[in-house]
Each structure stands twice: as structure tokens, then as C-alpha cells.
């Protein structure tokens, strides 16, 4: 049986402009959430977001590329380049160098794609004599994240863009896992990317009732009694997945092993989650991994901070993991906000690092745990010997993706 390893990680998040600084702040329980600065929020009830700060796309793209591409592509290229460098897959450290393996695959998920550029271009329709950009269509399509990363890195193998709401990034990693597992590739670059911090997106999510109206950085408070919605965020996280023999041959560092994946749908409601669907998704991932609920030492929750979503996920977890010593649970979105597709992939990476470093990061902003979310939510950093962990992603439309990770055998 082919084994699938994580051998490279790159990220741009509200916490930092690379993965390892972001992970360091996650362990410290630092929030990346602040008041929206990318547009005027006057008249809006939703004022907080997880914005990327101080990011310089010129490190990865030409000035012409920056102008014609949506920020979700900027973040994807940056994160993928960092991941490829981290895995030692570039022929040199020069960021415009080509990928060492032409037949490697790329799978990247996004929920909203180029929505920032779409909003900008739509405003031109209200201005006399203004013309739409000739790059509007190609630079905003969701599949362009995978295509452009492949173009920049020189990969010519499997290439796929996935849009599966908030599960998109996790699904991208899961499908990459399957691709390698069944022998179609030895290396796949996979993850999620989003740049949804624009009025169109914030007001759209807000009017649906999904966003928090709390006007301070503690607005994202998963499993707390006063949670009132998620905090929209942006960023990207890309992983290099690699077949074990290939990783050993290259003598590259291994961050973790993926041993199970499930992708299911509730077939229930456009926005409301269904506990039976989430239970089925978690069970399916454990079956794929060949482990039981009793084997799981840590759960990285979807934990978005919505009243219904957190309650349903908590009850699904409680239904499956019935041990007298319940597995510890963390929600990283308490620090990053909800980066949509990028959150799923970032949380897979953080779960791998939790296993590797034997550390469970905290869930912050909890002042009083909701008694209806009766699970073992960790609010202080904790040392733990984690052999098996899962990470959940659940999205609008009842789409579910769960990844199972394992401590790498020495």
C-alpha cells in the first residue's frame, strides 16, 4: 500500500506571511483578527475580518501579473512556491525556477475565487465609458489557482480546481491523497486559497446570518455561549503531498502522514448542517484509515463560531467519540477567522504539526463554554503524545471533508 506524506508547507494567513510563523502564533494563541481596512464598512453590521497584512506579491509575481490577477491567485502562487521550496522541489532557491518533477500534480480549492476582482469590475459598469478588464474572466475563475500555480512551477501532470464551499481546501488535499494512493502521481501540490474581504462578500455572508456582529478581535469564539457567527478571513495554505518512497529517496523532511479521507454530502439543506451527515463523514474517514474512534488522540474541529454549526459538530463528535476520556478538541479559526477553502488546508497542516511537535494549540476567546457543546475543547496550549488525529471541514450545501493523520513511524 502506498503511503502519503506531507513534505512541504507554505501559507499566507492573517497571522503571518509564511506557514511556520503562522503556526508559531497559533501555538501562542495569538489572534490575527482586526477591524476591516480593505474597504469602508460604514453602514455595515459586520466590521471584523482576518486580513492578510504586509504581504508583498512582488516576491512571487511580476508587476504585470499582479495587476491582471486577483489576490486569491497572488496568495496561491506565494503559498505554493513556499511549499515547493520547503519540500526541496525547486532546482534552485530562485523563485522563478521550474519545478523539478514535470509530472507532479496540482489540486487547489477555492470557494469564492476572484470575487474581489469581480466586485471591482462590476463597479465599472456604473461608470460611463469604463471598460471591463480583458483579464476579468481568466483571472477570476476558480480553476485558475491550480492552473497558474502549475504554470509558475512548471508542473504538467494532473491539474484540478475544486470549489466545494468551506470544504474546498480539505477536499483538494484529500483528492491529492487519493491520486497518490492509487498510483496516478508521486507528488501533488494541494490546498486552498481565498481573497473574499470585499464589501460584496462580507455583506453577502452577513445578510445570510452567518457572520459575527461583534465589533472586536474576539469575535471568533467557537463553542462559547456568546458566539454569534464566523469572522470572514483570507489567505492560502498549500501542501506538498508525496509518496513515502519518493520522500525517502529525496531525503526530505516529513511533517506528517495522511492515512484517511472522506468526502460526503448531507443531502439535507443549503446552509444548515446535518448531524447525521457529519457523523457519516467522520466514520467514513476513520474506516478509510483503518482506525477506530478510540484510536483518535486529537480532533481539529471545523469550529467556525456559528451557533448552529458548532452545536451540530460538537454533538457529532460526542456521538462518535464516547470514551470516558474524551479526545481534546481545538478550533484554529478562533485565531485566524474563517479563511474558507484556505482554513481547511491550513488546519490540515497545523494538525500535522501538532502530531509532530506533540502540542495541542488553544482555542481562544472562550469565556464560558456552551453546555450544548459538551466536548473537551482545549483553551490553553497542551503537550500531548498524538498518534492519530482528525481534522474536519464542513461547508454550505452540506458538503463534508475529513482527513485522518498519523504520527510518522521512525
Q: What is the pLDDT of residue 51?
A: 98
Q: Quick one: pLDDT band at residue 23, thresholds 50, 70, 90?
A: very high
E-state strands within 97-210: 105-109, 159-162, 187-194
- Residue where a domain stops, chosen among 199, 226, 256: 256
State yes or no: pLDDT of 195 exceeds 80. Answer: yes
Phi, psi (5° rounding) for residue 40? -75, 120
Q: Which of 82-96, 180-194, 304-318 has the lowest mean pLDDT?
A: 82-96
Q: Write down the pLDDT at residue 102.
A: 77
Give the sign of the dihedral formed by CA 28, CA 380, CA 316, CA 371. Answer: negative
State the pLDDT at residue 95.
60
| Residue that the C-alpha cell 494549540 belongs to | 361
To the query of whether residue 269 is one of the catalytic residues in this protein, the response is no
**Does 205 share its domain with 94?**
yes
Which pLDDT value is given to residue 101?
A: 76
| For range 45-74, the mean pLDDT | 97
Residue 410 lies in a domain: no
Position 60 scores a pLDDT of 96
Joined grid coordinates for residue 120: 471591482
Q: Which of 158, 159, 302, 350 is catalytic?
A: 302
Helix (H) or strand (E) holding 377: strand 376-377
302 among known catalytic residues: yes
Residues 255-300 have pLDDT tens digits of 999 999 999 999 999 989 999 999 999 999 999 999 999 999 999 9
Average pLDDT, the chain: 95
Instruction: Work out the end-to-end distance of the chain between its first and last CA atoms, rounded to an integer number of angstroms.
Output: 18
**Is the domain of 25 the same as that of 146?**
yes
Last residue of a domain, one of 204, 227, 256: 256
Give the model's pLDDT for residue 128.
Answer: 85
Confidence of residue 96 (pLDDT cuts 50, 70, 90): low
Q: How confident is the model at residue 100 (pLDDT cuts 50, 70, 90)?
A: confident
Q: Which of the residue ranges 100-109, 311-320, 357-366 would you say has the lowest mean pLDDT?
A: 100-109
Given this model, what pLDDT does residue 205 score? 97
CA 357 to chain CA mean position, Å = 20
Distances (CA, A) of 239 to 11, 124, 256, 346, 376: 9, 37, 11, 9, 28
Residues 271 and 233 in one domain: no
Burial class (CB in 10 A: 0-12, 13-18, 19+), 337: buried
Residue 137 and residue 8 share a domain = yes
User: b/e map of 225-264 (b: 16 or more CB within 10 Å)?
Assistant: eebebbbbbbbbbbbbbbbbebbeebebebbbbbbbbbbb
Reduce the DSSP state of residue 225 to 3 states and report it: coil
Q: Beta strand 388-395 with 399-406: parallel, antiparallel or unpaired?
A: antiparallel
Please check whether residue 89 is in contact with residue 101, taking contact to mean a CB–CB distance below 8 angstroms: yes
Q: pLDDT class for 394, splitting at 50, 70, 90?
A: very high
Determine the average pLDDT of the residues in 25-34: 98
Is the model's pLDDT at 381 over the cut of 60?
A: yes
Residue 410's pLDDT is: 56
Supply the pLDDT for residue 401: 98
Q: What are phi and psi of 378, to 5 degrees?
A: -90, 125
pLDDT of 129 over the 70 cut: yes
- Indicate which CATH number applies to the domain containing 387: 3.40.47.10
**Domain ranges, residue 273:** 261-405
Separation of alpha carbons 123 and 249, rounded Å? 53
Residues 24 and 163 in one domain: yes
pTM of the model: 0.96
Which of 74, 338, 350, 373 does the annotation list as catalytic?
A: 338
96 with 216, same domain: the answer is yes
Q: Are 22 and 119 part of one and the same domain?
A: yes
Query: Residue 138 is placed in which grid cell?
Result: 481568466
Report how many domains make up the chain.
Answer: 2
Determine how many CB atoms are found less than 10 A away from the CB of residue 7: 25
Q: Is the pLDDT of residue 302 over 70?
A: yes
- Residue 326 confidence (pLDDT): 87
Q: Is the pLDDT of residue 92 over 60?
A: no
User: Percent of the chain at pLDDT above 90?
Assistant: 93
**Cα–Cα dist 84/240, whole Å:** 7
User: Where a domain ends, among 256, 278, 298?
Assistant: 256
pLDDT tens-digit profile of 236-263? Answer: 999 999 999 999 999 999 999 999 999 9
Compute the average pLDDT of residues 368-384.
96
3-state helix, strand, coil in the chain (%, to 5): 35, 20, 45
Residue 97 has pLDDT above 70, yes or no: no
Per-residue pLDDT of 158-177, as tens digits, reads 999 999 999 999 999 999 99
pLDDT score, position 16 = 98
Instruction: Identify whether residues 83 and 26 lie together within a single domain.
Output: yes
Helix axes 199-207, 115-124, angle to 10 degrees: 110
pLDDT given at position 14? 98
99 vs 402, more confident: 402
Cα angle 306, 303, 301; round to 5: 160
- CB 140, CB 115: distance < 8 Å: yes
Q: How confident is the model at residue 78 (pLDDT cuts 50, 70, 90)?
A: very high
Residue at 31 is within a domain: yes
Average pLDDT, integer, range 17-40: 98
Residue 48, H or E segment: strand 48-49
Using alpha carbons, select from 73, 90, 287 the residue that is nearest to residue 187: 90
Q: Do 225 and 301 fall within a single domain?
A: no
Tell me which residue of 323, 326, 324 sits closest to 373, measured CA to CA: 326
Q: What is the pLDDT of residue 324?
A: 64
- Annotated catalytic residue 338: yes
Q: Do 29 and 121 reside in the same domain of the chain?
A: yes
Catalytic position from the list 159, 166, 198, 350:
166
Amino acid at each position: 500500500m502506498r503511503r502519503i506524506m506531507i513534505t512541504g508547507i507554505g501559507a499566507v494567513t492573517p497571522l503571518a506571511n509564511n506557514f511556520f510563523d503562522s503556526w508559531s502564533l497559533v501555538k501562542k494563541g495569538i489572534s490575527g483578527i482586526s477591524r476591516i481596512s480593505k474597504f469602508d464598512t460604514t453602514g455595515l453590521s459586520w466590521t471584523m475580518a482576518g486580513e492578510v497584512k504586509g504581504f508583498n506579491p512582488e516576491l512571487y509575481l511580476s508587476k504585470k501579473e499582479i495587476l491582471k490577477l486577483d489576490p486569491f491567485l497572488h496568495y496561491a502562487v506565494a503559498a505554493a512556491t513556499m511549499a515547493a521550496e520547503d519540500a526541496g522541489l525547486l532546482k534552485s532557491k530562485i523563485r522563478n525556477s521550474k519545478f523539478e518533477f514535470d509530472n507532479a500534480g496540482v489540486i487547489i480549492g477555492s470557494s469564492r475565487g476572484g470575487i474581489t476582482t469581480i466586485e471591482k469590475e462590476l463597479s465599472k459598469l456604473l461608470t460611463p465609458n469604463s471598460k471591463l478588464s480583458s483579464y476579468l474572466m481568466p483571472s477570476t475563475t476558480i480553476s485558475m489557482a491550480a492552473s497558474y500555480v502549475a504554470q509558475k512551477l512548471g508542473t504538467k501532470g494532473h491539474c484540478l480546481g475544486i470549489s466545494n464551499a468551506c470544504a474546498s481546501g480539505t477536499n483538494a488535499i484529500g483528492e491529492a491523497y487519493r491520486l497518490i494512493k492509487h498510483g496516478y502521481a508521486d507528488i501533488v501540490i494541494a490546498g486552498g486559497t481565498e481573497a473574499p474581504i470585499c464589501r460584496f462578500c462580507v455583506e453577502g455572508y452577513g445578510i445570510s446570518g452567518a457572520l459575527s456582529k461583534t465589533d472586536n478581535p474576539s469575535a471568533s469564539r467557537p463553542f462559547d455561549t456568546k458566539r454569534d457567527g464566523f469572522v470572514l478571513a483570507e489567505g492560502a495554505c498549500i501542501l506538498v503531498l508525496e509518496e513515502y518512497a519518493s520522500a525517502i529517496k529525496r531525503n526530505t523532511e516529513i511533517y506528517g502522514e495522511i492515512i484517511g479521507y472522506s468526502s460526503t454530502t448531507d443531502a439535507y439543506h443549503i446552509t444548515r448542517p446535518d448531524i447525521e451527515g457529519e457523523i457519516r463523514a467522520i466514520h467514513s474517514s476513520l474506516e478509510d484509515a483503518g482506525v477506530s474512534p478510540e484510536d483518535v488522540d486529537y480532533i481539529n474541529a471545523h469550529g467556525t463560531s456559528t451557533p448552529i454549526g458548532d452545536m451540530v459538530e460538537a454533538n457529532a463528535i460526542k456521538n462518535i467519540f464516547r470514551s470516558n476520556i474524551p479526545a481534546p478538541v481545538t478550533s484554529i479559526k478562533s485565531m485566524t477567522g474563517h479563511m474558507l477553502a484556505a482554513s481547511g488546508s491550513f488546519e490540515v497542516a497545523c494538525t500535522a504539526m501538532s502530531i509532530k511537535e506533540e502540542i495541542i494549540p488553544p482555542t481562544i476567546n472562550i469565556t464560558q463554554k456552551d453546555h450544548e457543546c459538551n466536548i473537551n475543547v482545549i483553551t490553553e496550549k497542551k503537550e500531548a503524545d498524538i498518534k492519530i488525529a482528525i481534522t474536519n471541514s464542513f461547508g454550505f450545501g452540506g458538503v463534508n471533508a475529513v482527513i485522518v493523520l498519523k504520527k510518522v513511524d521512525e
